[in-house]
Amino acid sequence: MAMKGVIASAVRTLASSGSSASSTTFTRHLHASAGSKKIVGVFYKANEYAELNPNFLGCEERALGIKDWLESQGHKYIVTDDKDGPDCELDKHIPDLHVLISTPFHPAYVTAERIKKAKNLQLLLTAGIGSDHIDLKAAAAAGLTVAEVTGSNVVSVAEDELMRILILVRNFVPGYTQIVNGDWKVAGIAHRAYDLEGKTVGTVGAGRIGKLLLQRLKPFNCHLLYHDRFKIDPELEQQIGAKFEEDLDAMLPKCDVIVINTPLTEKTRGLFDKERIAKCKKGVLIVNNARGAIMDTQAVVDASSSGHIAGYSGDVWNPQPAPKDHPWRYMPNHAMTPHISGTTIDAQLRYAAGVKDMLDRYFKGEDFPAQNYIVKDGKIASQYQ
């Protein structure tokens, strides 16, 4: 239902729970009041790559392609890649911005301290999927709306996961490295290269991305397992041929390949620590395009060094961007990349359009598509609880 006009400030007493703050006073409007708005976008700088593709919208130079549209309506649009440190460009605009747009690929970490300083802030938009760079409890307590473009890059990430599985199973990276280095040692690759067919692949999380991955794995004739809070629709589960595993620790030792597809929450932070990794099959391959903080960083390094993890691939780090001395850069048998899986050009077109649509609705006082809300009316979406 459309929300027209200005929503009056109200005091709401909420039950104390993980999804809301108790006895919280909301003093911010959830939708736009009349007048010009200051909108800040935080994106990575593309430099010389910016002009190579007109649809490269997710960089600072293109800024989702919405600058002319926003300014034509009288709004101020500030774009920067400088988001960290006490004197960063973002912090200069925190006190008077109304809307902050960020991406998971170059996240502007929206802490409780930043929220407290942002007196005019009403709306936090994620250009993509994954809003864990925002302190959601603090956002809920402050009466902010947090939203993302749900579904915008699920195909992109699922395809990337499938690629990474094959890269690890076939021991591709050392073979490529040989060629780059002028070598030719087939035995150095073949001694640990396998077929995917007949292997057991388990996904930790079977939401939109997890389901798409399972569907794409079906033609490879794998044994497919999944662990989630909820079971997949029975008809789809039968079509895919995937088996539900209620107990994560019981699923792990069955898997040759484990794919992480769960959001980062208080419950999943550090989920794969030393003890849980030890429960995995020796020689397991792990793919993680979800969030780096789901893994214990040093535990992954140690298990990769010992060979318990035979290969680790993903594009998510903790923190991001990853510092030059991050140990995952140097551990054996990895196939890591910067955070790229969800920011293909196709995905950028989708999440740029989604952000523009939500801004348009915000200016008109209309609700967003329900599935896009992460925080609304002081409540945090179930997937982040």
Cα–Cα distance measured from residue 316 to residue 341, given in angstroms and rounded to the nearest whole number: 9
Hey, which bits of 220-301 come out as E strands? 223-227, 242-244, 257-260, 284-288
- Tokens 């798409």 found at: 212
Whether 114 is catalytic: no
* Segment holding 39, helix H or strand E: strand 38-42
74-88 per-residue burial string, b: 16 or more CB within 10 A, e: under 16: ebebbbbbebeeeeb
Per annotation, catalytic residue among 114, 133, 164, 339: 339
Q: Which of 122, 320, 333, 372 is catalytic?
A: 320
Does the annotation flag 48 for ligand binding? no
Q: Is 199 annotated as a binding residue?
A: no
Is residue 258 part of an annotated ligand binding site? Answer: no
| Annotated binding-site residue? 309 | no
Among candidate residues 133, 164, 291, 326, the one labeled active-site is: 291
47 has binding-site annotation: no
Q: 333 in the Ramachandran plot: left (φ > 0), alpha (ψ -120 to 50) or beta?
A: left
Is 27 annotated as contributing to ligand binding? Answer: no
Q: How many CB atoms lie under 10 A from the CB of residue 300?
A: 24
Q: Which residues, at least 6 apart from 252, have a Cβ–Cβ distance to it below 8 Å?
A: 202, 258, 276, 279, 280, 281, 284
Please state, as a whole number, how many other Cβ atoms lie within 10 Å of the Cβ of residue 172.
18
State the catalytic residue, choosing from 153, 261, 333, 372: 153
- According to the annotation, is 200 in a ligand binding site? no
- Is 315 annotated in some ligand binding site? yes
Residue 266, annotated ligand binder?
Answer: yes
208 is in an annotated binding site: yes
Asked whether residue 98 is marked as a ligand-binding residue, the answer is no
Indicate if 227 belongs to the active site.
Answer: no
Known binding site: residues?
Answer: 129, 153, 208-209, 228, 263-267, 289, 315, 339-342
Binding residues for NAD(+), as ranges, are 208-209, 228, 263-267, 289, 315, 339-342
What positions carry a catalytic annotation? 153, 291, 320, 339
Binding site for substrate: what residues are annotated?
A: 129, 153
